[in-house]
Structures are given as structure tokens and as C-alpha cells.
Structure 1
């Protein structure tokens, strides 16, 4: 069995490629990093180390790589011959790889390749595969689209594994946390698909996507923004600060109430999930910079993302949202000169003021109670600095 995976970064190698190889796939990575691609193609293997006390290392074998900058046609041919296509490139990059996938589908149809194909976007976004499908279909003619509807599926997925920024002497080595979750919407797949060991196949994906987004991602950025204001450099350092931990717990209590009310999760089981997440954030074997986790505050403040979405749902369910609003106020105070979104956000605050900036980036009008709460927290936090 052959799999093509777009994105040979830390998530691609340390999570998706690891599981695919472990399930018997020959994995062909497609990436633009010259060093990583050449080393993967030369060595055909790479090490993955778990961030645990034992620091166990697994050698992932049966891999190769293609440079999509210089060999796009070769990448398209690999897709034509593959059994599975996955991505871990970042949701904003999906439109840039869609053309190569479309070319691969055209070749697959022309060559009469047997078997159904699944294309799974393993991105930190709701409906990543559905978004990728739209980009791919934009590059297909009507006849190929009809063929693809019968032969290619784009099941949505939710992925979760903390892989911090890291540098090693070996450019292929990657360190990952032991915990992972990869859920795929089985209802969007063709019958008889080959199951990847370690993947959780579900009939309804939204509860798992929102549980991850509103717990892991919401909690992580809450720790980052509170940790930043407390002067901490890393998430692990921040999670040793009781004020940070208490803030994150309060935020996750609010998002947890939404998840229980909306999706029927057991309160006891969800609380256990929260405790697991807090332990992951504090893992001393990981070093994750506050600047990395807090990066891209505009995206994190957007209407459908990890802060505004659960706050709005809490408001609609007549549940608490004050600590989520406080985190929004904290995000407005996040300054990072090498983060374009943080720079843009600070410029907007200077030029338009806090209220207009909140409306611009969250979609919450000035009269909305969440907007008012976030603005009040921002002004108080700014005064206390």
C-alpha cells in the first residue's frame, strides 16, 4: 500500500507518517524543504522520540520524499498510484497543494487506477478535508469532477498531538509527546477502506473536533496569553504558575459546559479529559515557547475559532463565558515583533481603538455582552500592567 503525505515537518513526520508507516504504508512525503526531502529520499527512514521519562525512539522505515518545487509532475504521478493521500501543511497552504492533487486525480482517471482513494487533511481546522476538496475541484473539469465523486473521498478529520518547535543535529529527528488523537469521519469514507492503526473512526466528527478545539487549542492559547502577561517564556514554565493554571482551568470549565450541553459528553469523562490536557501542557519533557503558542492572535480571535466560538455558544446556552472573554482581552495585549498578525493587531489598537479592533477581528458588535466583557477585561489588564 502506498500513501502520499504533503508536509514533511514535525507533525507530518512525528505523527501522520509514523502512524501510516506503522500500518504498512509506504509513505512518500511531498514538501518544499530541500534538506528534509533530500535526506528522506536518501535514508528512507527517520527517528521519532517520545517526550517521556524513557525517551523511547522509534525508527520509521519505508519512506521517501519528493520536492514539490522541482518535481510537481512526479508528485502528481505518486498520487495517481497511491491508496491514500494525507496532509499536514497548515490550512492556509491547502490551496497551494490542491493543484498537484488535482493533477494526480487527472492522471489517476486517465490511467484507470483501480481502487477508491481517500484524501484526508490532517489540519488544525474544522472541515479541513472539505476545504481541500473545494480547492482541488476548482482545478478539475466537469467530467473529472463527476469521476472523482464516484472514486475519491475527502473525509474530514481531527488531529491532536503537541509537537513543539525544535532543532536537532539530525534534520530528520523529531520529538513528540506520547499522547495523540486522530479521528476521521467514517461516514464520509468508502466501504472496505484500510484502517490505519491508531486512528479513531467515528460516525459524527463535530463533537471530537470541537472537544479538541475548545479544550486543547483554547486551553493552550489561554496558557500562552496569561503566561505572556506573567512574564513566562515557555508553556511548561507558565503551567508551574498557579495563577496561569487557575485561569486555564476556569476557561476550560466554561468550554466544558458548552461541550457537555451541546454534544452530551459525560461531565465526569470530560473532566478527566481536561486533567489529561493540563498534564500534557505541563509535560517537563517538552519545551514549547509562549511566543509560538500565542502566535497568530488574529486567527485565534476569529469568529469560528477557539475563543469566540465557544464564548458565543456559551452565551446562546445561557452559560458562563467571562474567562473566555478575559482571554480575548489578553490576546489584545500579546506583542511579538516577528509575528505579522500580532503586529497588525497592535497597529489596529493604536489606529482604531480596542472596541473597533475587537469588532473587526471577532465579528462581535460593540453592544454584544461578550464584546463588552472582553473590552472591560482588556482595559483592566492594560491598566494593571
Structure 2
């Protein structure tokens, strides 16, 4: 008997789940109903900035013709889930359609965080999340003008670089003392800072946007920072982080993680055996993950389980990332954040101001826990192969070849 999987959300993670299930479901036991919030199929949000550089929506779309025409898939665009009934195993879309499920997977993603800054609702204040957001930015920019990007993480720096390629002179405002505080320490961030400044990005770290000022027509005129600096600006882009989209937790009577997100176990299961959650909206054992790689791992795990196969529990102790940002290589491998009493030994290596590496070692065994790389350093994948072992004698040469 064919079972129905309803996927709430068609972002990158929701699409990966459906794609993997189609590949694994050789018995054709499943019919997949995808309820997308956006009016177009899933696309590569990680490459969204290339849309401003000239790539088309079709080029970024993840759903190919075979997927869209597969008789086992029903994709409903602009039809987000707004209500659900666990007892009846049904969901209701924004358009009023009621759909029954055997399994419901919540892949609702996240929403941009906009800090409660006076003036944040003015015209020409944007977030950086969808095709429509970028279309609105492109219509607004004036070459030679100035813009302010709120957030000095990965997304904020991408947004600032995109603005600069549109002819806007961008300021980047980051509340933390340095750029990319979630991934980098101060020394690695300094390598990135120097490179970003050399590309024309004006960086303001250790301060916040206190107010956005309006022109007479209600558009952005300027921004005042927490340190009293006033910056002329024709637009503001908020890229200050994300928050999980967990609004359905209430209607479904599902628990949330301490910082939001649908609370799930290591296999992405909620307390209801018929409901799962994956991606940025999932608080796996209480923790949300904002990168696409963990979301893909969750999607593949759930697809494996739905086809009766054994899956490994989700474990992101290895938070490895590799970023080619603004033309400079930044990477982490293994474990770079630590808690508890067993404090790691930290060893840093630097080559002037253009290359930097730090490793973390267990103090009792000397085994490698992880590391941070900035600039023209060694291969993250090769260095990652030594995690859990004592590093080789030529480690410094591997870090800074």
C-alpha cells in the first residue's frame, strides 16, 4: 500500500529529502507531497549572490525536469502549511487544502533575524534571503551610493560583496569584536578583515546599528551606530543571523528547543512517531544547525529510515566548514568550540598577516581535536584526516605549506 509523505517546505533540505527518498524507494512505496512556501521550486540558496551577478533563477534551481515530472511527486508552490491535526494526520495549507499524511517532515527552514532597530521598517530596508529580496535590492541600488549591511558573518559579507559589485560602497556593521565570530577567532578574522578592507568594504566591528534615519519620502537616508558614528546610506541590508521557523510547534503541540526549533532526537524524530524535522528548523537534541551540510545529513538520514534501512544517528561534533569568501580561503575542521573541564591545548601558527592556522589538542593524549585555517593554508580535508590522532611531525608544514 502506498504511503504519503508530506514535506512542509521546499528549501534545499526539503528537496534533498525528497530527492533521496525517490532514489532509495525502489519498491515505490511512497508518494511525496511537497508544500512549498515560495512560488518557485527549491534553489541553491548558498549561491544566491550569483543571482545578482547575472545567473538566472533556472540556473540556480535544484529541481530538474525528471524530479518535477516524477509521478510520485506532487509539488504545490506558494502553499505553506498553516495548521495541522496530529490526531487526524492532516495538514491545512494557506489556500485551505486539507492533506492527509502517513509521515510529516517539517523542513520549514529559518527566517532572517532583524534586530529591533528604530527605522528597520523603512523603505529600502531589506533582508537577504530570497530571489524577491535580491530583486528588490537590485531595483533600489544606485551606483556610487552607499549602503549598510548589518551583520559581519558569512551572509553579511556575501551581501556586502554583492552590493559592491552593483556599484554600491558598502559598510559592514558587526556587533562582535571581529568578523565571522561563530567560525573564527580574532587572529583568523584579522586575515579576513585585511582582505575585505582591501576590497573596499568599510568595516565597523564591536558596535551596532542604533537607528535608521528616513528621508521625507520614507526611504533610508542614514544610519547611526552605537558608538555615535553616522553613515550616509541609501539602503540597509539586514544579514544578522537567522531564527528557526517553528511556528507549527504550537498547532502540533510539539516541544521546541531552548533556543527555538522543533525538538528532535538524533534520528530527527519528534515526540510524535509520525512527525520528523530536518534542517535549520530542527533542534537536534536541543541544538539547531544553520549550515546546509548538516541539513543534508539530516535529510539523508530520514530518507534512509523511511525506506526501512538502518541510519547512523546525527552527529555534528565535526563542524567542518570550507569557505572561499571574498577571494580568501577560510576553513575549520574537527571540533573548534569546547565546553567542560577538559580545556584543549591551543597552538597557533602565523605567516605574517596573510596566513594563519590554529589547532586544538587534547591535553591528556595530545590527539588532534580540530583547527581553524585562514589564508593560503593547507588542505582542510587532509588535515581533518588526522582528527582523533596525534598530529604528524611535519604538521606546521601541512598547515602553512
Q: Report the TM-score range of the alignment, normalised by the length of the smaller protein.
A: 0.3 to 0.5
Q: Which has the higher strand share?
A: 2
TM-score of the superposed pair, with normalisation by structure 2: 0.32
Q: Which has the higher helix share?
A: 1
Bigger radius of gyration, 1 or 2? Answer: 2
TM-score of the superposed pair, with normalisation by structure 1: 0.33
